[in-house]
Amino acid sequence: MSRSGRIAAEVGAAYRSFVRRRVAVFFTFFFPILLIAIFAGLVRTGGGGTGLFSQPPGYYVPAYLAVVVLFTPLSRLGSEVARFREGNRFEKLSASPMTRWEWLLAQTLVNAALIALACAVLLGLLAATGASFRLSPWLVAFVPTASVLFCGVGAMLGSLADSQDGAITASNGVALPLLFLSNTFLSPASLPSWFRPVTDLSPLSYFAYGVRAATYPGNHAGWPGSVAANYAVLFVLAVVAFAVGAWLIPWTE
């Protein structure tokens, strides 16, 4: 079987594995929709100040997208790698022509496609609630690149965790702080001045800065200074994370 054939076959298997897991489907598609329905539809964000949900709904476009871009690949890849380890499936795959980077690429393609679909649904729902934001072409670059980045991180966590439960716990332990401390739901003004530089250490910050600057005009694009610069940082981090994630997969060759 050719390389493209191997990857295509694994893509099909990964997709079927995803749709069989109702929890994964819920947190990818329905949980973010609930957040938007509550905070953008019912509560109506934008009351002013510097606290949580104090900005207009359009400000939180990168935050809502980050819920999917961050949680789905971390939990899915983390648990999937751990599941393959527990079942000795990597040892079986190592006897085939498939390589570890091909396997991770197939998993990443499925997750990136599903995340892109979920993000499109979220943007449509946000627009339906009356949120003011711009549909920027940059979204086509930021969403898949961030998906690759966190798929790589998820593969790292799954390779280092001692079980599926451990991988899921580690994924949540990484995702929750990043979600709220990466210039997503909390604006920089709501954080202590000494802590603000720390947020630039989060890879999710470059997704948030770039997407917000592209979709919500008038916002500063963060430390790199432009949408393109934020994307460049995110792209480099994605390449590194994917390479390290593939290297750490316990493949016996």
Does position 253 have pLDDT exceeding 60, yes or no? Answer: no
Based on the number of CB atoms within 10 Å of its own CB, is 5 exposed (0-12), middle (13-18) or buried (19 or more)? Answer: exposed
Q: Is residue 233 a contact partner of residue 142, using CB atoms and an 8 Å limit?
A: no
- Mean pLDDT over the full length of the chain: 86
Instruction: Quote the tokens at residue 252.
Output: 């016996």
Own/partner long-range contacts of 92-98 (Cβ < 8 Å, ≥24 apart): 93/251, 94/251, 94/252, 94/253, 96/6, 97/1, 97/6, 98/6, 98/10
pLDDT of the residue at 157: 95
| pTM given for the model | 0.89
Instruction: Quote the tokens at residue 2.
Output: 């050719």
The per-residue DSSP string of 132-187 comes to -----THHHHHHHHHHHHHHHHHHHHHHHSSSHHHHHHHHHHHHHHHHHSSSSSS-
Residue 194 phi, psi dihedral angles, 5° rounding = -70, -20
pLDDT of the residue at 45: 54
pLDDT, tens only, 162-207: 888 899 899 989 999 998 888 888 877 777 888 888 888 899 999 9
pLDDT, tens only, 50-101: 556 667 888 889 999 999 999 999 988 999 999 999 888 888 888 888 899 9
Q: Which helix (H) or strand (E) holds 17?
A: helix 3-20
The per-residue DSSP string of 51-120 comes to STT-S-GGGGHHHHHHHHHHHHHHHHHHHHHHHHHHTTHHHHHHTSS--HHHHHHHHHHHHHHHHHHHHH
Q: Percent of the chain, pLDDT > 70?
A: 91
The more confident residue out of 65 and 220 is 65
* 8-state DSSP, 18: H
The more confident residue out of 79 and 130 is 79
